[in-house]
Amino acid sequence: MEVREPDSIDGEVIRDIAGRSLRASYGLSPDTIDATVRQFQNDDRLDELTGDESAVLVVAEDELEGEEQVVGFAQGELADDGYGEVNWHHVAPEGRGRGVGTELFSEIEERLQDRGGESIRANVLSDNMEGAQFFEQFGYAEDHTSDVEIDGESHAVNVFVPEAESESDPGDQRTDPGEIPETVEDEGETKYVRRDYEIPGEKGPFFELYSDEGREDLYAYWCSHSENVVAAGDDQGRLECSECGNVHRADDWDAGYL
């Protein structure tokens, strides 16, 4: 695998990877994904970035099906406040599980620092729960939320900074699964937590909750962030805690993204 600056800016390749990565990892509609790619990865924008000394665009090339292919890219630039911002970080589905995402982030982090970034922050649409767990692998924590307009609609963006710099309320950070109890009480009855199976959530994992000690009769779910019982998910497998807003979507993160 090689992570490098592109020999030439092939907008079609970058847009293809961005679109397929978004579809694989985000709970966004197809129209919103297409609009996002058009808005931020059009040829004029890519040309602008390559001519800007404060910006970084790197691609990852790996061997697939007997030939070298671009399987991921990362894009960032220096912000006015001195931070190096990682704005795009995507790996094609067929390139995941090979360390591509890790190599890309390490490279863009180093290059932004070399360009004068006092520190690094990463921006991730909140519709992607892979992002939270990916950046935590590098010692980052969610610091605050901002907004971006895509095709006329506002979307929340989670902003991650190195954990030592985060000023977020500890109550908003992810819960340590080691604190999960074996049982909880709901409506005066004891319910049993399945501790060995985590369901990823934006603020902390959910756990299956059973009516019986043998854990055969599924009762509901338990949010580890708010310590609240959550009713069964919808038809798409989505869970949402009414107490803290913790959310799980059916297409959540798996370790293959790294």
Measure the CA–CA gap between 89 and 133, rounded to whole angstroms. Answer: 14
Which CATH architecture best describes the domain 2-168? 3-Layer(aba) Sandwich (3.40)
> In percent, how much of the chain has pLDDT > 70?
87
For residue 199, pLDDT over 90 is answered with no
Strands 183-186 vs 153-162: parallel, antiparallel or unpaired = unpaired
More confident residue, 198 or 103: 103
For residues 202 and 210, is the Cβ–Cβ distance under 8 A?
Answer: no
For the chain, the structural domain boundaries read 2-168, 177-257
The token duo for 6 is: 């592109």
**Residue 123 CA: distances (Å) to CA of 142, 143, 159, 241:** 10, 10, 5, 24
More confident residue, 175 or 213: 213
The token duo for 41 is: 């990865």
Model pTM score: 0.66
For residues 204 and 248, is the Cβ–Cβ distance under 8 A?
Answer: no
| Eight-class DSSP state of 178 | G
Confidence of residue 142 (pLDDT cuts 50, 70, 90): confident
pLDDT tens-digit series, residues 88-128: 999 999 988 888 999 999 999 999 999 999 899 999 887 77
